[in-house]
Chain A
């Protein structure tokens, strides 16, 4: 099998030497962070397999699709409407940008004082170490952050890139702008695939993607229970994998996992002691394989019960209306759903503050950890308002600013330990 993959990777133009080093680095990390956890749901075995085979079968599926004349559309952000991609019989794939491994490569070109997510994603292309990037026919970027926006300009020198303009306000004119962007995206995808995006296609795709949103919401609902039946790390991994796995298969696997986990709830079984401090994480996204903060918290005796982030609730919270209708009507319904994502790129963005307080209550959180990728200015500044909103509600908050490297592990542990001591009283 492995030899087959090597040929495939070579055909995709992968830098095999670097790629070997990347794939060699992952298993020990995964062993330490994941496989060493106790009492994991059996349903996690699928996700273990996906990580163990991270650049294997899924890439092969995409490549097969491409060989049959299909297109692969790569994205980095929850604002890119997958429904349109799927309606044109293309496959959307969320790219990971969550490892330090590709950061030094990116720093050969990008400024060092740039967020790790931007550098990691760019480094994957520059270093030719991601078969998903290599398989894709188009990368769809967006304007949710100034750093990404400018990085995409440089990325476009290496790969076809289309940029969707995400507005910065939630006004009517911004909504109109975004609806225009979504309509234009349909044109881009039709041109790329040569397939027309029809009303039936959109309705089918909308239903499918909504199914995944429902399944993930169902999984997250199980985390509202005490004792929590699944670790934060495992739940985070499920969300991360949902970005690039086949949508229908993902729905099936997540629901199977939910069946099992709901059984645990009925039996009163938990993965952590019932009195373990329950933590809501809010802030910057955690792209695979970024498990740093979850691992830190869950090895310090806490349990992560929810992520208010793009690799959490923001990815699945609202559904697209399934009213069918004309292509125009459906595109509008799609655009409106995506405008409900409370990204820190918006000003003002007070709905996010409401979300954090609401989620803290729904998930019975004892405290909130605000996770900020270093140099992510929108989240860093919005954290000031998050802090105030939580103080008003009497919910403890710890602000963490970090990147993908491990050099600050000791300092982070000091903060986390002190925060948990504070919560425990």
Chain B
């Protein structure tokens, strides 16, 4: 049976279609009207069952005849499918960072989310890349090229931006500033990981996992190997599609049986 998972995030919309394996996947910007964008995206897709996850799930699901699942569960299912020995999932998305501890059997055992502000999220990196006038896709590499250490003390997106502006006007290299920003966000995420008492294997997913510097810093600070899936943005949609496939049989499916 062909099943689909739709991850409606604050920044991106991701679709994964399963027929045995992943047969189709799409990543779009969420834009200003995510519902319409989802409807357009699904218009020419065929599938039997759909599960919607992500920030916009309650908005979108009723309009596209889908069921809902929280992104915590969807990422857990997706990460576990890719790595059956995964016990910890770090998901840094557009406006949330989440850390989830899975039980031996793969059930969500505990989770932590960032506070309500953008500190420590993909949005933070996006704002900072604009300030540093570098493409978001190159921000991580820029930071890794730093030859000097500077300090950014604030993780508040607004305050950090003004700190960055004053560092720029002091003549600091943009690479050093970028590194400082990544240090800050990595420390914040590591704090959340420590709170749940992480177990290996640690899987890092979500859009921010595309960032090379963040990947490296998380591994270094945690002192463990951090696994990044080949396509980290798709993990939530994949998990949702897997849940769609499993829900055909009964309502609450233990993750291990998927």
Interface residues of A (CB under 8 A from B): 401-402, 407-408, 410-411, 413-415, 417-418, 421-422, 424-425
Contact = CB atoms under 8 A, between A and B. Distances in A.
A414 B69 contact: no
B197 to A, nearest CB: 10
Interface range, B side: 10 to 19
Contact of B113 (A407, A411, A425): A411
Interface string B109-123: 101010110000000
Contacts of B139: none
Given A401-B115, A408-B116, A418 B70 contact: yes
B116 A413 contact: no
Contacts of B55: 410-411, 414
A414 B113 contact: yes
A413 B58 contact: yes
A417 B116 contact: no
B96 interface: yes
Contact of A425 (B58, B72, B252): B252
A413 B95 CA distance: 14
B68 A411 contact: no
Contacts, number: 43
A391 B55 CA distance: 28
27 contacts: A401-B115, A401-B116, A407-B116, A408-B116, A411-B55, A411-B113, A411-B116, A414-B55, A414-B71, A414-B72, A414-B96, A414-B113, A415-B113, A417-B69, A417-B72, A418-B71, A418-B72, A418-B73, A421-B69, A421-B72, A421-B73, A421-B108, A422-B109, A424-B252, A425-B107, A425-B252, A425-B254
Nearest to A399: B112
A79 B80 CA distance: 50
A124 B122 CA distance: 38
In this complex, the member of B58, B68, B109 whose beta carbon has the largest number of chain A beta carbons within 10 angstroms is B58
A299 B108 CA distance: 22
A72 B107 CA distance: 55
Contacts of A418: 70-73, 108, 111
Contacts of B95: 411
Given A402-B116, A408-B116, A411-B95, A417 B70 contact: yes
A422 B107 contact: yes
Interface of B: 55, 58, 68-73, 95-96, 107-109, 111, 113, 115-116, 252, 254
A417 B61 CA distance: 14
Nearest to A398: B111
B28 to A, nearest CB: 19
Contact of A411 (B96, B107, B111, B252): B96
Contacts of B73: 418, 421
Nearest to A397: B110
A417 B56 CA distance: 13
Nearest to B112: A399
A335 to B, nearest CB: 39
Contacts of A410: 55
Nearest to A411: B116
Among A401, A408, A413, A421: residue with most chain B CB under 10 A: A421
B7 to A, nearest CB: 12
Q: Which of A401, A411, A418, A422 has the most CB of B within 10 A?
A: A418
Contacts of B72: 414, 417-418, 421
Contacts of B116: 401-402, 407-408, 411
A411 to B, nearest CB: 6
A232 to B, nearest CB: 21
Contacts of A421: 69-70, 72-73, 108
A405 to B, nearest CB: 10
B108 A422 contact: yes
Q: Which 3 A-B pairs have the closest CB atoms?
A: A418-B72, A417-B70, A418-B70
A136 to B, nearest CB: 34
Contacts of B68: 417
B225 to A, nearest CB: 26
A166 to B, nearest CB: 29
B246 to A, nearest CB: 13
A151 to B, nearest CB: 23
Contacts of B111: 415, 418, 422
Contacts of A401: 115-116
A424 B251 CA distance: 10
Contacts of A417: 68-70, 72
A80 to B, nearest CB: 32
Nearest to A384: B195
Contacts of A407: 116
Contacts of A411: 55, 95-96, 113, 116
Contacts of B252: 424-425
A413 B254 CA distance: 22
Nearest to A408: B116
A414 B55 CA distance: 7
